[in-house]
């Protein structure tokens, strides 16, 4: 979202426009924004066009209220700052569903993993992982995980090979609970692998390219 529109939305919210209709002139708003009256009027037109506010034109003032979509924008901004300053117990990601190469199914079907998932996560995952591609820069958020408790699935060996350990974090995707799995011996990636007791593509009616929201729940180390 354009920074000047976010600032305008914030000023309107501070005037009470999230819960009530407010009366404001473009001149009054311009003083709040420290800009010209013409510019403030243009900002309101853009917000109205984008469906973030409703406007009713009066004789000297406009009656304005922030829409649900506008409140959602402010809430997202709030969550971002909360992550920075308040050390919240959640990390939020938005990404898109992509197909893997089938390795997730192979690994989740190994008895050594399944038994530990059941004991430590409380469920046996549906075979395979749901892969979510996040913006590449957002992989940096995963570095926050090093300061929090992890659920460790230990490495194990079968007749033919050794399977590496996995770090797990309780998570949810579009409100459905499960876990994010991160191989211990790997670099941070922009692909999140999500496991769940459900076949998520069917349960959430997902296909490749669909946008999803992932929340990783954290527990601070003592």
Give the number of C-alpha atoms closer than 13 A to the C-alpha of residue 211, restricted to the C-beta side. 3
pTM: 0.64
Q: What is the pLDDT, as a whole number, of residue 185?
A: 76
Q: Are 197 and 67 in contact (CB under 8 A)?
A: no
- The larger pLDDT score, comparing residue 79 to residue 24, is at 24
Q: What is the pLDDT, as a whole number, of residue 136?
A: 83
Q: State pLDDT tens for residues 54-102.
A: 999 877 889 999 999 999 999 888 877 877 776 568 888 999 999 987 7
Q: What is the pLDDT, as a whole number, of residue 6?
A: 95
Which of 28, 25, 35, 26 has the alpha carbon at shortest distance from 4? 35
Ramachandran area for residue 125 (φ above 0: left; ψ -120 to 50: alpha; else beta): beta
Q: How confident is the model at residue 7 (pLDDT cuts 50, 70, 90)?
A: very high
In this model, does residue 215 exceed pLDDT 80?
yes
3-state secondary structure of 77: helix
Q: What is the largest CA-CA distance in the chain?
A: 83
What percentage of the chain reaches a pLDDT higher than 90?
60
DSSP states along 127-171: SS-EEEEEPGGGGGGGGGGGGB--EEEPPEE-SS-EE--EEEEEE
């Amino acid at each position: 979202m354009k920074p000047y529109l976010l600032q305008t939305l914030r000023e309107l919210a501070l005037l009470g426009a999230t819960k009530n209709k407010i009366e404001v002139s473009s001149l009054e708003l311009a003083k709040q924004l420290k800009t010209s009256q013409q510019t403030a009027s243009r900002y309101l037109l853009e917000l109205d066009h984008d469906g973030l506010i409703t406007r009713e034109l009066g004789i000297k003032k406009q009656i304005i209220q922030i829409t649900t979509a506008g409140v959602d924008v402010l809430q997202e901004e709030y969550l971002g700052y909360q992550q920075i300053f308040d050390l919240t117990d959640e990390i939020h990601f938005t990404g898109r569903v992509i197909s893997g190469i089938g390795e997730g199914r192979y690994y989740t079907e190994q008895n050594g993993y399944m038994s530990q998932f059941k004991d430590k996560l409380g469920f046996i995952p549906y075979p395979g992982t749901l892969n979510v591609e996040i913006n590449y820069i957002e992989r940096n958020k995963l570095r926050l995980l090093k300061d929090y408790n992890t659920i460790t699935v230990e490495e194990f060996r079968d007749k033919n090979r050794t399977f590496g350990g996995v770090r797990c974090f309780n998570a949810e995707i579009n409100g459905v609970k499960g876990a994010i799995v991160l191989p211990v011996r790997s670099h941070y990636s922009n692909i999140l692998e999500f496991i769940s007791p459900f076949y998520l593509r069917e349960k959430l009616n997902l296909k490749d390219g669909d946008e999803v929201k992932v929340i990783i729940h954290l527990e601070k180390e003592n």
